[in-house]
Structures are given as structure tokens and as C-alpha cells.
Structure 1
């Protein structure tokens, strides 16, 4: 299955193209994971081409199973597109009212509203696509010491819900943010 979303901002920010990951994304994916800030917040860093291919395989399997939807977020350039972020809808189960949303942003795109705009686009897509299957709530989780993720959640319309205690594999307490289908 393939879907293309466009997330445009009313201001001068460039449009974002959200699409499933593809083989040609491997170099940009590996470059993104060389960022120490991204590596700090991820449980499974990608360091080799084999790691990246595994990521792509799991992404394709998630789409095929209709349970996990991983989007490459790109900005158009004069000669193609540039990877700026990743947004993931995970733990979707038909008939269950909630699923989880996650994201990361490449170093050069941080602070420009990319993650928030892409998160809003995937949130709206998820509620439109899966509302009839029972999806009424999306949750966004992050560690308590990640204020940038907290800002993205709030800018994306995810209200702070509660502090969650640390539990493996997460070493620190976290925040749960929630957005309900309107």
C-alpha cells in the first residue's frame, strides 16, 4: 500500500511530503542516525546498511499488516527531496480505540516546526483512515528529560495527560500526551 500526504504550512515554511520509506532512503537514513542527539533518544540506532535495510523491511511489513505506518518526511528540493524527519503510527489494532504516534527530526531540520507539521498530518490521516475502525485517541510518549518532544506534542495538539514511571527499556520517567479525534 502506498499513500502520499502533503503537509503545508500557512506561512513560508516549505511543504512536506510524507510517504512510505524506500530503498533510496538508506543513505539519508544512516546519515540521520549519525546525529548524537537522535541516537540519545532511540532504542535501536541504525549504524550499518544492513540495519537500514532491516528498518525498511520492518516498515514494509508494518504497512502490509496494516498495523504500523512509518513515514519518511521530506522537503522538496530543486533536484528531488531531502529527508527531514520520520513519523510513525504504531500499535494500531482495528477495534481498539487508541494507537501511538512517534517521530524524530534530522539535526538540520530541528526548530523549524517540521516535526509538529508532520505529526499533525499523520494524526489527521490516521483519524480519517481508521476512525471507522474505532480509532478515537492517539498517544504520544517521550522521556521526561526531552523538552523538545514535549513542545512538538503540544504544538501538534496533543495535551499533556500524565507522568509515566520509568520501565524497561526506558530508563527515565516519561510524559503521555493525548489527542482525541474531533
Structure 2
């Protein structure tokens, strides 16, 4: 069992963060109907088969120790996702990501979940060498900039576009792993 599996899940006030489950497929599909979310996520879910594949990818990443994705629930409803994309064992840095369901935007869900993931990642992987977390988003996504800053991830630099996968310039935010910032 990896350290991350033994350490449980991040904790955020008013939210439940837990690994995704196969039964989350219908809720995941519903969240992905939002055009704003679809604009900014790389892997879109358009039907239940795609939802099942996305969930299998999350489960496989967790088993391999490379991706720790957590469903963010509020009062039992799926309102978001936070993820730690872990590099090779012993890596000093990892990447975090997130998305928020349309109905949950503007209520502090993403910053709370991201701050909880940050603390969890530091506590879980510090002994493995993790010291820094990086966050990237498209440069025109001002809401993601606000979430990053509220969660203690200051802007570091502009990242040039790399079409076709990244057609727009992006923003790089970074912070130390661990204690809330």
C-alpha cells in the first residue's frame, strides 16, 4: 500500500473529499454538460462510457501512485474535483488541478478543496521528497487565477502556448507543499 492510500483523503470544512467511485459516473456526466467546464478541461465526458473510462483512469493512476483524484462533495452532491499529479518517486515537485461544477462556483468550494489537497499532499509525500506544487491554467481563465491565489498559489510566470494541445498562453502558479498558505 502506498503512503497516499494509507494517509486517507484531504479534509476541507463543509466538504467531503474522497476517491472517485464507479457509481459517480452519472453525476460526473451531469457536471460535464456545463459549457464553461468543457472549455477548460482537457478530458471531456460526453456519455456514460466516457465517464466510466475517466473514472478507470483515476483509479489506475491511484493504483500506480501517479494520480490522486478526489471527488469533492457538498451535502452528497458532486461539486468538484481536485487532483495531485505525482511525478516519479522522489520528485521534488508535483502538479495540482481542479474543476468546479457550475452550481458550486463562487462559493469558495475550489479554494477550500485545493487548500486541503495542498496540505494533504505535503503531509503524505514530504518523506518522499515533495517540496513544491505547481498549478497551470489557461491565461484567459481569470476564475482559476483567483482560485489559485486564494489557495496560496501565487502567479509565477506566463507559459507560452503550445498548440494544438495548449492553444493559448497559460499561467503557472506555484507554492510549497504542505501547510495552508
> Aligned residue for 2:80?
85
> Aligned residue for 1:175?
171
Structure 2: how far apart are the matches of 1:20 and 1:99? 18
Structure 2: how far apart are the matches of 1:5 and 1:88? 11
User: Residue 93 of structure 1 contacts residue 99 of structure 1 at CA under 8 Å; is this kept in 2?
Assistant: no
State the shift of 1:92 in Å. 3.0
> Aligned residue for 2:57?
58
Instruction: Compute the TM-score of the two structures, normalised by the length of structure 2.
Output: 0.92
Superposed, which structure 2 residues align to 1:1-182 within 5 Å? 1=5, 3-8=8-13, 15-76=14-75, 81-168=76-163, 169-181=165-177
State the shift of 1:162 in Å. 0.3
Structure 1: how far apart are the matches of 2:86 and 2:35? 27
5+ residue gaps, structure 1, are 9-14
> Aligned residue for 1:12?
none
Structure 2: how far apart are the matches of 1:121 and 1:19? 12
State the shift of 1:66 in Å. 1.1
| Greater relative CO (CA pairs within 8 A, separation 6+) | 2
| Structure 1 ranges of 4+ moved more than 3 A | none
State the shift of 1:44 in Å. 1.8
Instruction: Compute the TM-score of the two structures, normalised by the length of structure 1.
Output: 0.91
Output one character per residue of 1:30-61: Cα deviation in whole Å (capped at 9) or x when no partner.
Answer: 00000000001012210111101111111111
5+ residue gaps, structure 2, are none
Structure 2: how far apart are the matches of 1:42 and 1:151? 17
Which range is displaced more, 43-52 or 121-130? 43-52
User: Residue 10 of structure 2 contacts residue 119 of structure 2 at CA under 8 Å; is this kept in 1?
Assistant: no
Report the count of equivalent residues.
Answer: 172
RMSD over equivalenced CA pairs, Å? 1.2
